[in-house]
Amino acid sequence: MFHVPCSMVIIFFLVGLIVGSFLGAVNYRLKVAEDIVWKRSHCPGCKKNIRWYDNIPLLSFVVLWGQCRECKEKISWRYPAVELMTGLLYAAVAWKFLGGWGFAGSPERVFSAGDAIEMAFWLFAASYLTLIFFHDLSFMLIPDAAVYPAIIITLLYQYWKYLGGPLGIADLKNPFASALSGAFVAALFFLLLIWISRGRWIGGGDVKLGFLAGVIVGWPKILFVLFFAYLIGAIVSLILVAAKKKTWKSQIPFGPFLVTGILIVMFFSEQIQFWANRYLNIGY
């Protein structure tokens, strides 16, 4: 078992907070079609630019009591939530990849260029999955501007892994073939649900997100993503109905549950494989 220095985890957590602050702005600006890169952060209510000391992730929200300093308009809780989720995911990636590699653990292990590429991909995945999670939660819409680039970059990453491995392209266990298989299985599954329900159960955005999920985790891990997504979705839906926040006919975005399923399988793949082999005789 490797030991990860707390300082590294904290550094990645803080970097994640900064990235999350940007993602929070992207989440809103994708909806209102504002410039993402060059336009300064501003209050959606009074439109005044936010001062730098009022734009510190998490801290500014607490200091200002969730209000704009100028117009006292309430700031959505989703902004600090995006920041916190991104920070925690970045810290989790640091914990996963930096344990013992040239820091405080096993001295024989070296953090290679390949490890750096894989870690960079995980950080990228954590970012776009957080954006998709909150955009669908906020606006019942899965943004093409996030999904399509994510699919392309993830396919390139899986192809890079295939080039560095011993398995042929026809072997479903090679990363690229596994990614494509998982993607098409998930997309066809959601397309079937759309056809059966005539669009009442699921939306077209979920088909694209399902394809992305398959590209990320591959076959047969995509089955576990779908399992966790529907299990968590059912539990949350029952709680919301019991609390009278929703009714049985209410629409609930499925994207956040699917993203949660992806993250569970990404971070706990080895544990899931152990239990699947032991109790279900399913290996991957």
* 99-115 confidence digits (pLDDT tens): 744 444 444 566 778 88
- pLDDT-derived band at 57 (thresholds 50, 70, 90) equals confident
- Per-residue pLDDT averaged across 69-98, rounded? 90
* Mean pLDDT for the stretch of residues 70-98: 90
pLDDT band at 38; cut points 50, 70, 90: low
Q: What is the pLDDT of residue 100?
A: 46
Query: 199 or 223, which is more confident?
Result: 223
Q: What is the 3-state secondary structure (H, E, C) of 97-130?
A: HCCCCCCCCCCCCCCCHHHHHHHHHHHHHHHHHH
- Residues 208-214: what's their mean pLDDT? 97
Residue-level pLDDT at 4: 54
pLDDT over 70, % of the chain: 87
Q: Work out the average pLDDT over 141-150.
A: 93
pLDDT at 1: 44
Q: Is the dihedral of CA 16, 122, 78, 45 positive or negative?
A: positive
Portion of the chain with pLDDT greater than 90, in percent: 51
Q: Measured on CA atoms in the order 34, 38, 41, 42, is the torsion positive or negative?
A: negative
**pLDDT tens sequence across 241-278:** 998 888 777 788 999 999 999 999 999 988 888 777 77
Q: Residues 5-16: pLDDT tens digits?
A: 678 889 999 999
Predicted structure pTM score: 0.87
Domain limits, the chain: 1-109, 140-284
Q: What mean pLDDT is predicted for residues 210-237?
A: 95
Query: In whole angstroms, what is the distance from residue 224 CA to residue 246 CA?
Result: 27
